Structure 1
Amino acid sequence: MAGAGTGGRKLLAGHALRRLRRAQGLSQVQMAEMLEVSTSYVNLIERNQRPVSAAIVMRLVERFDFDPRALAADAPGGGAAAMRRRLADPMFADLEIDRNEVEEWLAAAPGGAAAFARVFDRLGSGGSEGGAPVADDPFAEVRRAIGRWRNHFADLDASAEALADELRLGAGDLHGAVAERLRVRHSLSIRVLPVDVLPDVLRRLDLHARQLQLSELLGPSARTFAAAFQLAQIEARAEIDALVRGEAFVARAAERLFRRHLAGYWAAALMMPYARFLRGCEATGYDVELLGRRFGAGFEQVAHRLTTLSRVGARGLPFFMIRVDRAGQSSKRYPGASGAALVEVEGRCPLWRLHHAFDRPGEVATQLVELEDGARFVTMARTVTPQVRRVGGVPVEFAVGLGVAAEFARGLAAARGLDLGGSATPIGLGCRACVRADCPQRSAPPAGRALTVNERERRITALTFAGD
């Protein structure tokens, strides 16, 4: 469907249209009248026998304030690519399920496919690359909770934005304004202590002394964030409690991790209030480093904030974010509203320049990449170094990756000079989930594919395997 956010490909999204119709309490006849099409056409769309046209997308936006990205991102189980990653688990290796079967399954029985995905994700895959998280993993539980909200919490944004506007009237220095509010409203003072006093702690609330104690290792943006984080635990407690209760976590650790994420979300929203931040994004072409200077935030803080811009009627570009170490292990993964599989899988492709960022510390590496299903993304990667290192201590360094679908990237400052319709680096979702046969960087065959060994020839890739 050209012009509807799918890069010219036909968009089969009957599941999303059916869900919207039922949420509005409409029959197919009523939905057809609102979309100015026949009832039989609505029925065919919902059964994935007709694509969603650009005209229908426009009517959905006008009549329901509908986000068209949800048509592609809200597929059962995350869509065909996500379902194939689950089916790549070794337990299904003997079934030899090909791509066409997966797509037919999603079209014919979207509810059953979604149920399979939910059970598989809940039980876990044993930790295999390209599969679902291991069961009872609190980090996986929290990621799923954040994913359900697309990392946008409207109540937290509204609360933080209202306070930011109030504080802005009295002071230009946000850190000073937050410190004053903590002192006057909550009888808490902020005290920055030498590292010898807080050798292993960056932030501590001492209720006996009525102090928020911060380490001198923290830089200006980190101190502002720490103060705002403490304020969130007090002034946004009702909103945070409601969100946590709604998830009904079984594991106490998952509940605490989610609560910490929400407090951090509120703190970032206070530093970068939604409306002002979105205006800044649009005015600068989402220039991450310039936005950081404008809002007194670090690169990683801005990158995370970019994944939260899903306010109804005022949506930003659908960014995803990931943070990895030199070993490729991820410590943060936020797909946001992008629905990008790049950050949802455990495995990653060495051809993605996310890993190259460590070779040029502090520089932004931009790349146009293309996945096996044809989805294209403009990605940016840069190293970040937490300000917690002492002389002689262990160096800490991460690479933060950001990305957005290429179809939305024309106004990006980082995309200037890129031919978004030209050649892109072909990447996969980790060797065990990737079926590109001609990759010279391959380290393992795809899960469920039999190796083929030919002693008479040596191809570019040392590992060849049976096809679909």
Structure 2
Amino acid sequence: MADDAVFAGAALRRLRRKEGMTQAAMAERIGISPSYLNLIERNQRPLTARVMMQVVDRFDFDPRGFREDESIGGVAGLVRRFQDERFADLGIDRDDIAEFLSQAPQAAAAFARLYDTSGEGGIVGTDPLDEARREIERWRNHFPDLDRDAEELADELRLSRGDIGVALTERLRDKHQLAVRILPREVMPDLLRRLDLHARQLQINEMLPPSARNFQVATQLAQLEKREEIANIARGPDFSDEAARALFERHLTGYFAAALIMPYSRFLRACDATGYDLTVLQRRFGVSFEQLAHRLTTLQRVGQRGLPFFMARIDRAGQFSKRFVGASGTTLLDSDTSCPFWNVHQAFEQPDRLQVQQIELAGSDAAPSHWFTLARSITAADGAEGARFSVVVGIEARLAGELAHARGVDLDPAKAQPVGLGCARCFRENCRQRSLPPRATALHFDPVTRSVAPFSFGSR
């Protein structure tokens, strides 16, 4: 947070009122002038890192409270909700939305919560996947305590073995009296792993490659050694469905496993040294492309930040089965479907080739809109026939000059491929690939002419 301009006047004002303090009293407590505090509370000045730390220290305040807007996706998240056709006639623009969020963040959060749990006919059930995802994004997919614990354990394991797979197996055997046994596919046709406490074995499907085997052993260690720490984090959110809590806890378990295999400091140093060369990083840490993509979205340690990547996994129908925005702030993943011009789809046709592309989110009110993306197709972890996905990582194009994969690429926005958020939410005109007209538009029909695009439509 210290790297960003944080406008948190409403949160600071609520804290002051809760403590029963005047502006003068609080200003003296945190070492600033009353006039400066007044400007911060009115969002005319950002909350600096120094003032933020003073507030956290003097009032035992959770700093995430200063970024309460993150739970609803900030301005971009509200823009997405206000694009609903039910609000199309109100003329609400991005500036209106930014002012709403700045001046009344709790009211904005209430609107977002009501919107997320409502449909055309009224209140409907919440989706546990969406609930878990929103909580992950509230944390920006960075859990510092888990990262620290995983790094300490990784350091301990490296004292005896350089091979993380051997070290993980020995840890499981020596500390938990569990052996790792690889079983034939016919014995475990529908399972990746199974813990057999009677036989004191962690059983793993033989079809898993080494990277997946290591991840499964690391996951089991997370469940055995960090169960309480993970449960404590998962107990924090007020989920409406216990399935959402279970999904969030499963994510945290996998997060620890990945952090154990790719320890934060060592991994970030390797990223910097190689220019985030994905091929080199895969080999160096013995991980899959998908595992690496996950880890790239988590590098947000204060004072030791990596580049802000997003990551997604997409099936052949263009549906997202995983979406992690991280600190990227992208709105590319807000839709349930992807644009056919995004080359994540070409990855299916060229499975051994990394797809490199710069794209421009066309017709979007959200910024930033210019992105540099890298995509590759993957198979299911156990190599199941027909189960294939495309995994993509992306970063703002203005930051991509540091990447090994961007060498020789002209990052001029004018050369970017325009894409949309799926046809129903894309207002790009004259698109020959369009399958559906955009929502909240009036269709135009001309008996005299016929355009190259399947639909002609008016403005929103």
Structure 2 length as normaliser, TM-score? 0.84
Q: CA deviation at 1:103?
A: 4.8
CA distances 1:141-193 after superposition (whole Å, capped 9, x unpaired): 11111111111111111111100000000111111111111111111111001
CA distances 1:220-259 after superposition (whole Å, capped 9, x unpaired): 1111111010000011112111011112434232222222
Gap change, CA 1:46 and 1:453, over 3 Å in 2: farther
Correspondence for 1:458 = 450
Correspondence for 1:207 = 197
Structure-to-structure mapping, 1:369-448, within 5 angstroms:
369-371=359-361, 372-373=364-365, 375=368, 376-389=370-383, 394-423=385-414, 424-448=416-440
Q: CA deviation at 1:61?
A: 4.8
Q: CA deviation at 1:262?
A: 1.1
**SS state at 1:281 partner:** helix
Q: CA deviation at 1:80?
A: 4.1
How many corresponding residue pairs? 438
**Equivalent pair of 2:312/2:323 in contact (CA under 8 Å):** yes
Correspondence for 2:57 = none
Q: Where does structure 1 lack aligned partners over 5 or more consecutive residues?
A: 6-12, 128-132
Gap change, CA 1:112 and 1:436, over 3 Å in 2: farther
| Whole-angstrom distance in 2 between the partners of 1:211 and 1:247 | 34
Matched, 1:185 2:175: yes
Gap change, CA 1:189 and 1:234, over 3 Å in 2: same
CA distances 1:297-336 after superposition (whole Å, capped 9, x unpaired): 1111010001111111111111110001101121111111
Gap change, CA 1:441 and 1:62, over 3 Å in 2: farther
| Whole-angstrom distance in 1 between the partners of 2:327 and 2:6 | 19
**Equivalent pair of 1:14/1:47 in contact (CA under 8 Å):** no
1:120 to 115, 138, 143: 115
CA distances 1:91-142 after superposition (whole Å, capped 9, x unpaired): 4456564556545544554442232112212x14479xxxxx9733221111
Runs of 4 or more consecutive aligned structure 1 residues displaced over 6 Å after TM superposition: 20-38, 70-73
Gap change, CA 1:178 and 1:103, over 3 Å in 2: closer
| Whole-angstrom distance in 2 between the partners of 1:196 and 1:267 | 27
Correspondence for 1:10 = none
Gap change, CA 1:203 and 1:27, over 3 Å in 2: farther
Gap change, CA 1:460 and 1:31, over 3 Å in 2: farther
Q: CA deviation at 1:440?
A: 3.5
**SS state at 1:192 partner:** strand
2:269 to 268, 279, 283: 279
**Equivalent pair of 1:324/1:398 in contact (CA under 8 Å):** yes
**Equivalent pair of 1:14/1:46 in contact (CA under 8 Å):** no
Matched, 1:150 2:144: no
Gap change, CA 1:268 and 1:435, over 3 Å in 2: same
Letter in 1 for 2:433: Q
Q: Where does structure 2 lack aligned partners over 5 or more consecutive residues?
A: 55-64
Matched, 1:298 2:280: no
Gap change, CA 1:255 and 1:332, over 3 Å in 2: same
| Whole-angstrom distance in 2 between the partners of 1:431 and 1:37 | 52
2:78 to 47, 64, 83: 83
Letter in 2 for 1:314: Q
**Equivalent pair of 2:70/2:137 in contact (CA under 8 Å):** no
Gap change, CA 1:354 and 1:460, over 3 Å in 2: same
Letter in 2 for 1:377: W
Identity of aligned residues (%): 50
| Whole-angstrom distance in 2 between the partners of 1:38 and 1:438 | 56
Q: CA deviation at 1:421?
A: 3.3
Gap change, CA 1:76 and 1:465, over 3 Å in 2: farther
| Whole-angstrom distance in 2 between the partners of 1:47 and 1:349 | 40
| Whole-angstrom distance in 2 between the partners of 1:174 and 1:134 | 46
**Equivalent pair of 1:76/1:113 in contact (CA under 8 Å):** no
**Equivalent pair of 1:21/1:27 in contact (CA under 8 Å):** no
**SS state at 2:435 partner:** coil
| Whole-angstrom distance in 2 between the partners of 1:447 and 1:89 | 8
Correspondence for 1:130 = none
Structure 1 length as normaliser, TM-score? 0.83
